[in-house]
Structure 1
Amino acid sequence: MARNMEKMASIDAQLRLLVPGKVSEDDKLIEYDALLLDRFLDILQDLHGEDIKETVQECYELSAEYEGKHDPPKLEELGSVLTSLDPGDSIVVAKSFSHMLNLANLAEEVQIAYRRRIKFKKGDFADENSATTESDIEETIKKLVVQMKKSPEEVFAALKNQTVDLVFTAHPTQSVRRSLLQKHGRIRNCLAQLYAKDITPDDKQELDEALQREVICHYRVIQRIGDNAYELDIPEARSKIQAAFRTDEIRRTPPTPQDEMRAGMSYFHETIWKGVPKFLRRVDTALKNNGINERLPYNAPLIQFSSWMGGDRDGNPRVTPEVTRDVCLLARMMAANLCYSQIEDLMFELSMWRCSDELRVRADVLHRSSKKDAKHYIEAGGVYFRSLYSVILFLAAEFWKQVPPNEPYRVILSDVRDKLYSTRERSRHLLANGISDIPEEATYTNLEQFLEPLELCYRSLCSCGDRPIADGSLLDFLRQVCTFGLSLVRLDIRQESDRHTDVIDAITKHLNIGSYREWSEERRQEWLLSELRGKRPLFGPDLPKTEEIADVLNTFHVISELPSDNFGAYIISMATAPSDVLAVELLQRECRVKNPLRVVPLFEKLADLEAAPAAVARLFSIDWYRDRINGKQEVMIGYSDSGKDAGRFSAAWQLYKAQEELIKVAKQYGVKLTMFHGRGGTVGRGGGPTHLAILSQPPDTIHGSLRVTVQGEVIEQSFGEEHLCFRTLQRFTAATLEHGMNPPVSPKPEWRALMDEMAVVATEKYRSIVFQEPRFVEYFRSATPELEYGRMNIGSRPSKRKPSGGIESLRAIPWIFAWTQTRFHLPVWLGFGGAFKHIIQKDIRNLHMLQEMYNVWPFFRVTIDLVEMVFAKGDPGIAALYDKLLVSEELWSFGERLRADHEETKSFILQIAGHRDLLEGDPYLRQRLRLRHSHITTLNVLQAYTLKRIRDPSYHVQLRPHLSKEITEDDLKESGKPALELVMLNPTSEYAPGLEDTLILTMKGIAAGMQNTG
Structure 2
Amino acid sequence: MKLSQKEAIFASEVVTRFELYNSLFLTLPFYRVKHTGTLLPFFTSHCEESVKQNIAPSDIIESFFGQYEQYVQAADRYDLLFRFIQYIERQVVLFDAIEDSAFQKTHSSDEVETLAVLLQQASSNPAMKADIRKALEEFSLRLVLTAHPTQFYPGRVLAIITDLTVALKTNELNSIHLLLQQLGKTPFFNKSKPTPVNEATSLAWFLENVFYKVVSSIQRKVEDEFETPIFNAHQLIELGFWPGGDRDGNPNVTCESTKAVSELLREFLFRCYYRDFRVLKRRVTFRGVEEYMERLQQLFYENSFIKSVEPTDLQDEILSNLNSIKEVLIRVHDGLFVDVIDDLSYKVRLFGCYFASLDIRQDSRILRKAHLEIRAIINNPYPENYDSLSEQEKLKIIKFTEEEGPSTGFSPLSDDTFQTIRLVKKMQYAGGEKASHRFIISNCQEATDILQLINLFLWSGWQKDNLSVDFVPLFETVEDLSLAASVMESLYTNEFYKEHLAKRGNKQTIMLGFSDSTKDGGYLMANWSIYKAKIELTTIAREHGVKLAFFDGRGGPPARGGGKTHRFYATMGSEIAHEHIQLTIQGQTISSQYGSFDTAYFNIEQMVNAGIVSALDTGDKNKLSPEQKTLMDNMAETSHKTFVSLREDPLFLRYLEQLSPLKLLAHINISSRPIKRESAGELKLEDLRAISFVTSWSQLKQNIPGFYGVGSALKKAKEDGVWEDVKRLYETSGQFKTMMDNCNMSMSKVNFNITAFLANDKVYGTFWKKLKSEYDLTTSLIMELTGTTVLMEQYPVERRSIALRERIVLPLVIIQHYALQQLELHKDDEEKVKIFNKLIIRTVYGIVNAGRNLA
Do both share a fold (TM > 0.5)? yes
What amino acid maps onto 1:1010 in structure 2? Answer: G
Looking at structure 1, the residues matched to 331 and 498 of structure 2 have their Cα atoms a distance apart, in angstroms, of 44
Matched with 1:301 is 235
For the 8 Å contact 1:298–1:478, the answer to whether it is kept is no
Q: Cα distance, 1:672 vs. partner?
A: 0.7
Q: Cα distance, 1:894 vs. partner?
A: 1.3
What amino acid maps onto 1:941 in structure 2? Answer: I
The equivalent position to 1:619 in structure 2, one of 491, 505, 508, is 491
Matched with 2:417 is 552
> Secondary structure at the residue paired with 1:921?
coil
Give aligned-pair identity as a percent.
23
Q: Cα distance, 1:663 vs. partner?
A: 1.2
Looking at structure 2, the residues matched to 240 and 102 of structure 1 have their Cα atoms a distance apart, in angstroms, of 12
1:331 paired with 2:270, answer: no
What amino acid maps onto 2:486 in structure 1? Answer: A
Question: Per-residue CA shift, 1:441-463, capped at 9, x if unaligned?
Answer: xx752533443343455567678
> Secondary structure at the residue paired with 1:933?
helix
The equivalent position to 2:710 in structure 1, one of 832, 835, 850, is 832
1:412 paired with 2:292, answer: yes
Looking at structure 2, the residues matched to 991 and 795 of structure 1 have their Cα atoms a distance apart, in angstroms, of 26
Looking at structure 2, the residues matched to 154 and 605 of structure 1 have their Cα atoms a distance apart, in angstroms, of 37
Q: Cα distance, 1:706 vs. partner?
A: 1.9
Matched with 2:843 is 1002
What amino acid maps onto 2:701 in structure 1? Answer: R
Matched with 2:627 is 750
Matched with 1:26 is 10
Matched with 2:602 is 727
For the 8 Å contact 1:696–1:859, the answer to whether it is kept is yes
The equivalent position to 1:94 in structure 2, one of 82, 85, 98, is 85
Q: Cα distance, 1:424 vs. partner?
A: 4.8
Report the CA distance shift for 1:298/1:309 in structure 2 as closer, same or farther (over 3 A).
Answer: same
Q: Cα distance, 1:562 vs. partner?
A: 3.2
What amino acid maps onto 2:515 in structure 1? Answer: S
> Secondary structure at the residue paired with 2:359?
strand
Matched with 1:256 is 195
For the 8 Å contact 1:175–1:792, the answer to whether it is kept is no
Looking at structure 2, the residues matched to 635 and 180 of structure 1 have their Cα atoms a distance apart, in angstroms, of 36
When the two chains are superposed, the root-mean-square deviation of aligned CA atoms in Å is: 2.8
Looking at structure 1, the residues matched to 349 and 831 of structure 2 have their Cα atoms a distance apart, in angstroms, of 52
Question: Per-residue CA shift, 1:389-416, capped at 9, x if unaligned?
Answer: xxxxxxxxxxxxxxxxxx3344334333
Q: How many residues align?
A: 823
Question: Per-residue CA shift, 1:300-347, capped at 9, x if unaligned?
Answer: 511111101100000001000111111112222232333234334334
Matched with 2:796 is 923
Looking at structure 1, the residues matched to 328 and 524 of structure 2 have their Cα atoms a distance apart, in angstroms, of 58
The equivalent position to 2:449 in structure 1, one of 580, 583, 597, is 580
Looking at structure 1, the residues matched to 832 and 127 of structure 2 have their Cα atoms a distance apart, in angstroms, of 66
- Larger radius of gyration between Structure 1 and Structure 2: 1
Looking at structure 1, the residues matched to 64 and 156 of structure 2 have their Cα atoms a distance apart, in angstroms, of 28
For the 8 Å contact 2:444–2:474, the answer to whether it is kept is yes
1:448 paired with 2:326, answer: no
Q: Cα distance, 1:526 vs. partner?
A: 2.8
Matched with 2:763 is 890
User: Which consecutive unaligned segments of at least 5 residues does structure 1 have?
Assistant: 1-20, 120-124, 195-203, 205-233, 353-406, 431-439, 957-988
For the 8 Å contact 2:92–2:805, the answer to whether it is kept is yes
1:136 paired with 2:125, answer: no
Aligned 1:443-522 pairs, distance under 5 A:
444-445=312-313, 447-458=315-326, 469-470=337-338, 472-510=339-377, 513-522=383-392
What amino acid maps onto 2:468 in structure 1? Answer: P
Q: Cα distance, 1:522 vs. partner?
A: 2.1
* TM-score, length basis structure 1: 0.77
Report the CA distance shift for 1:950/1:146 in structure 2 as closer, same or farther (over 3 A).
Answer: farther
Looking at structure 1, the residues matched to 230 and 547 of structure 2 have their Cα atoms a distance apart, in angstroms, of 23
Report the CA distance shift for 1:74/1:588 in structure 2 as closer, same or farther (over 3 A).
Answer: closer
- Out of 76-85 and 581-590, give the one that drifted further: 76-85
Question: Per-residue CA shift, 1:537-593, capped at 9, x if unaligned?
Answer: 5x446x852222212112212223333422131000000111011111111111113
> Secondary structure at the residue paired with 2:764?
helix
The equivalent position to 1:953 in structure 2, one of 810, 823, 826, is 826
Q: Cα distance, 1:282 vs. partner?
A: 3.2
What amino acid maps onto 1:31 in structure 2? Answer: T
Matched with 1:855 is 731
Looking at structure 1, the residues matched to 582 and 205 of structure 2 have their Cα atoms a distance apart, in angstroms, of 21
Q: Cα distance, 1:760 vs. partner?
A: 1.4
What amino acid maps onto 1:111 in structure 2? Answer: A
Looking at structure 1, the residues matched to 207 and 152 of structure 2 have their Cα atoms a distance apart, in angstroms, of 20
Aligned 1:418-433 pairs, distance under 5 A:
418-424=298-304, 428-430=307-309
For the 8 Å contact 1:325–1:558, the answer to whether it is kept is yes
Aligned 1:213-362 pairs, distance under 5 A:
234-284=173-223, 287=225, 292-294=226-228, 301-351=235-285
1:109 paired with 2:48, answer: no
Q: Cα distance, 1:954 vs. partner?
A: 6.6
Report the CA distance shift for 1:824/1:801 in structure 2 as closer, same or farther (over 3 A).
Answer: same
Q: Cα distance, 1:750 vs. partner?
A: 1.2
> Secondary structure at the residue paired with 2:548?
strand
Q: Cα distance, 1:892 vs. partner?
A: 1.2
Question: Per-residue CA shift, 1:191-245, capped at 9, x if unaligned?
Answer: 1111xxxxxxxxx7xxxxxxxxxxxxxxxxxxxxxxxxxxxxx222222112212
- Out of 909-918 and 174-183, give the one that drifted further: 174-183
What amino acid maps onto 1:271 in structure 2? Answer: V
Matched with 1:797 is 673
- Out of 271-280 and 851-860, give the one that drifted further: 271-280
> Secondary structure at the residue paired with 1:562?
helix
Q: Cα distance, 1:281 vs. partner?
A: 4.0
Looking at structure 1, the residues matched to 300 and 153 of structure 2 have their Cα atoms a distance apart, in angstroms, of 35
Matched with 2:560 is 685
Q: Cα distance, 1:107 vs. partner?
A: 2.1
Matched with 2:459 is 590
Matched with 1:217 is none
Report the CA distance shift for 1:858/1:645 in structure 2 as closer, same or farther (over 3 A).
Answer: same
What amino acid maps onto 2:94 in structure 1? Answer: L
Looking at structure 1, the residues matched to 645 and 741 of structure 2 have their Cα atoms a distance apart, in angstroms, of 25
The equivalent position to 1:812 in structure 2, one of 690, 702, 707, is 690
The equivalent position to 1:648 in structure 2, one of 523, 536, 548, is 523
Report the CA distance shift for 1:46/1:461 in structure 2 as closer, same or farther (over 3 A).
Answer: closer
What amino acid maps onto 1:155 in structure 2? Answer: I
* TM-score, length basis structure 2: 0.90
For the 8 Å contact 2:572–2:735, the answer to whether it is kept is yes
Looking at structure 1, the residues matched to 417 and 659 of structure 2 have their Cα atoms a distance apart, in angstroms, of 39
Report the CA distance shift for 1:667/1:1009 in structure 2 as closer, same or farther (over 3 A).
Answer: same
> Secondary structure at the residue paired with 1:248?
coil
For the 8 Å contact 1:681–1:1012, the answer to whether it is kept is yes
What amino acid maps onto 1:98 in structure 2? Answer: E
For the 8 Å contact 1:704–1:736, the answer to whether it is kept is yes
Report the CA distance shift for 1:460/1:301 in structure 2 as closer, same or farther (over 3 A).
Answer: farther
Question: Per-residue CA shift, 1:92-124, capped at 9, x if unaligned?
Answer: 1122223223322222222333223xx4xxxxx
The equivalent position to 2:700 in structure 1, one of 817, 822, 828, is 822
Q: Cα distance, 1:992 vs. partner?
A: 4.8
> Secondary structure at the residue paired with 2:555?
coil
Report the CA distance shift for 1:57/1:165 in structure 2 as closer, same or farther (over 3 A).
Answer: same
